[in-house]
Chains A and B, each alone.
Chain A
């Protein structure tokens, strides 16, 4: 028998090898399971590949009509199709090269199937079954949306329309002009970004405008809150210095029309109804800079309005220095000065008036649904701010109803429907035509909807914006 190597040596060696193989297995598990999600987040190439082949969820309107869906071309690559391109300000865009915008970006996790999948699908995920993105159901009412787009297109100018459910803040229609075709975004992206008209700006939520007289609703609410405007008193509280003119530090505050001076003195409701600049300048002076600042804060000025992840602009009251100047403060009181307000803010203020003082949070997505129709998530309406007591809201509402029945805002009331409204004609200085504003709730008793319209550089609010609102109120409340 020749020499034999001890069995012990083989055993020791085998143990070392086994331990090393175990380490390899642990290493595989470490990268493939423990660190997997972190690595996947950095792995852009696979993300792109996955995106190009992903069956992305659809965006639906309230009646389940499709606003955005994914179809696949001959090579199996995903193409995003928008059957209703005018809704671009809400829907946004989905492109490979230029990223995403609007709801496509805000709800990307759901649409791409990364969130909202059912718990039972853990097995599918382990087996890497193809992902089908969840559908998101918006609050858009297509008939109303189509009408809003038509009305804005007929004018041909720039502007925005918001139609909102009064007590829930749900957006029923939202239009912004100029806009773009999301089907062609990838081809036009570079031109759109440099376009002076800013077609990619959602004017309804991101546009900031001088509000003009629609701001008087806020001054009124602020004055009522501070007990500075007793409804039974006579207005303007300080008499005119000259016909239709009141001097602040030598600066003349002029009424916008002859009506307030001809009817002088009038009550608080008619102060709004006649859109008396002098009355609201005096109320602002009485409130003082701090009072105005506090009032604006309670209405959400200085904050970006939470809007389901869509971009919004914060409304601005003006600089401290400007408000400390009494002339500046007086001008701010009736909607001029340094004020910059978004149409969405005005719509929410109107909704708060109609809604007993509760300002709803605007909502555009009400449900997440699987492709097979199962509800994955429901989003109930939410309140955002409480800027007024119920009593104050009732007084402001009464003033808007008077305005909508006797005042300039009457132009926005369709036949047979009483509304509470307010016009605005925002003076811009120089040769610029004023912005034409209109905001209203309807019907006057038991408000259901809020309509806010702005048309840039179009003239008086009662002439341009109000007829659009009237048509939309008629359409929205048609049985």
Chain B
């Protein structure tokens, strides 16, 4: 199927996608209008992010209509809705960041389109699977060095590589993408071993070695992230995505359970050995008693949610800026205060639709490698959304990762768009049923 060729003459109106794009356009436009009304200064330039979103999405839509008419028609509107909502909330919370986010959106959209149109994309990733490790290790090491440099200036959570002072790159974001590609190809290649080896022959069957390589490697990376970089969210995310892919590739629950146990054991060890992990836990269990050591953000987040109630205070009417760094890690809280629990549930509904659509694409992908890539990417995005929302809602210890497509963070947004591009590329060669 990879021999499929683009045919410029095959232009076909993607009506479903076009119609689905209208609600996000309307919502974003109305939201920006409402914010400008409240500010009282009706400046045209403040509409640029919304205009850029509309233009960018329409451009993608037109290019797809022409060059990839059979790609999935629902995912782009869903992402446009999330991105529009994100721009709107960032404009409301920290309007000096909106332009940067808009620029990242443009880069992301361009890369996404390029990936959709790259015929050999998936094959390329499959072929050079071990080569992918190199940039991956590079990104991991850069991230670690950054966090060490950060701890010298008293900010151990620092993970942004600032290039020019204006734009920074967060190495852990593209790392996720590389990880999914590598794991998918590795697990797919060794699938038969996974499927035939028996747990009872753990020490006699040498093929077990192959099974332990990814497990130990991923466990090691997760522990490094947790202990050295103090990033529980990334550790959970990386290991979670390994579990998902291992399950999809091997269909072996015992292997997944074994890995999970190993991770829990590692977390337990870290909890007892490293003070800051225990501190995180304490701040989670009783933020009021630990307000000075990390509970403060969570307290403010819960207050903001309580203030929002069912339908929220209305855009621009609450005080979400009481919550520290609300525009990135806590953006769901800002949505909760101003758009209410109803707003949060709407966001969850968007992610659920996105998830179902992603699995739809994955199930219909032409082969198991592409199935693994699509399933892994959609699981990664969903898992990321789950972890950060659960942290904000005091359902699990708080972690500093972004809400995909919505939260402020240029690298994250670009990476998310690249993942969208890969998924659309995988859906491209199948005719919609």
Contacts and interface: CB of A to CB of B under 8 A. Distances in A.
Given A39-B303, A49-B319, A25 B394 contact: no
B372 A128 contact: no
Given A31-B302, A31-B306, A43-B306, A5 B371 contact: yes
A17 interface: yes
A40 B305 CA distance: 9
B325 to A, nearest CB: 17
A393 to B, nearest CB: 55
Interface in A11-26: 13-14, 17-18, 20-21, 23-25
Interface in B149-164: none
Given A10-B363, A127-B311, A128-B309, A5 B372 contact: yes
Contact of B348 (A21, A38, A49): A21
Contacts of B317: 128
Contact of A32 (B251, B309, B368): B309
A118 interface: no
A20 B248 contact: no
B402 to A, nearest CB: 16
A97 interface: no
A223 B110 CA distance: 100
Contact of A6 (B251, B322, B372): B251
B385 to A, nearest CB: 8
B132 interface: no
B100 interface: no
B322 A46 contact: yes
* Chain A contact surface mostly: helix
B221 interface: no
Interface in B374-412: 375, 379, 382-383, 386, 389-390, 393-395
Contact of B309 (A5, A17, A36): A36
Interface range for B? 35 or more
Nearest to B362: A10
B344 interface: yes
A335 B91 CA distance: 73
A33 B244 CA distance: 33
Contacts of B36: none
A28 B344 contact: yes
Given A27-B394, A46-B319, A49-B319, A36 B306 contact: yes
B30 interface: no
Contact of A14 (B247, B311, B348, B355): B355
A9 B322 contact: no
A7 B371 CA distance: 11
Contacts of B371: 4-5
A28 B342 CA distance: 9
Interface string A42-56: 110110010000000
Contacts of B319: 45-46, 49
Nearest to B390: A24
Given A10-B363, A45-B322, A128 B306 contact: no
Contacts of B363: 5, 7, 10
Nearest to B314: A128
Contact of B375 (A13, A35, A126): A13
Given A24-B348, A25-B345, A17 B336 contact: no
B191 A3 contact: yes
B356 interface: yes
A243 interface: no
Nearest to A20: B386
B352 interface: yes
B312 interface: yes
* Chain B contact surface mostly: helix
B279 interface: no
A29 interface: yes
Contacts of A30: 393
Contacts, number: 132
Contact of A2 (B310, B362, B367): B367
B122 interface: no
B136 interface: no
A14 B248 CA distance: 11
A32 B308 contact: yes
A9 B351 CA distance: 20
A86 to B, nearest CB: 38
A39 to B, nearest CB: 4
B340 interface: yes
Contact of B310 (A25, A33, A38, A42): A33
Contacts of B348: 21, 24-25, 28
A27 B363 CA distance: 31
Contacts of A17: 355, 379, 382-383, 386
Nearest to A32: B341
A376 B307 CA distance: 26
A50 to B, nearest CB: 9
B248 A5 contact: yes
B306 A14 contact: no
A25 B322 CA distance: 23
Residue from the set A33, A39, A128 with the largest chain B CB neighbour count within 10 Å:
A128
B394 A31 contact: yes
Nearest to A8: B251
A324 to B, nearest CB: 54
Contacts of A13: 244, 247-248, 359, 375, 379
Contact of B393 (A14, A28, A42): A28
B251 A27 contact: no
A6 B249 CA distance: 10
A32 B305 contact: yes
B386 A21 contact: yes
A46 B303 contact: yes
Contacts of B390: 20, 23-24, 27
Interface in A81-98: none
B328 interface: no
Residue from the set B247, B336, B395 with the largest chain A CB neighbour count within 10 Å:
B395
Interface string A186-222: 0000000000000000000000000000000000000
B29 interface: no
A233 B305 CA distance: 77
Contacts of A40: 303, 306-307
A13 B375 CA distance: 10
A29 B341 CA distance: 6
A45 B321 CA distance: 11
B290 interface: no
Interface string A155-194: 0000000000000000000000000000000000000000
Interface of A: 2-7, 9-10, 13-14, 17-18, 20-21, 23-25, 27-33, 35-40, 42-43, 45-46, 49, 126-128
16 contacts: A3-B368, A6-B251, A9-B248, A13-B247, A17-B383, A18-B352, A24-B390, A25-B348, A31-B393, A32-B306, A33-B310, A39-B302, A39-B305, A42-B303, A45-B303, A45-B322
Given A2-B367, A25-B344, A28-B393, 17 more contacts: A2-B366, A3-B191, A5-B249, A10-B362, A17-B383, A18-B352, A23-B395, A25-B348, A27-B390, A28-B345, A28-B348, A30-B393, A31-B393, A32-B341, A36-B306, A43-B307, A128-B311
Interface of B: 191, 244, 247-249, 251, 302-303, 305-314, 317, 319, 322, 336, 340-341, 344-345, 348, 351-352, 355-356, 359, 362-363, 366-368, 371-372, 375, 379, 382-383, 386, 389-390, 393-395
Q: Top 3 A-B pairs ranked by shortest CB distance? A: A39-B306, A27-B393, A2-B367
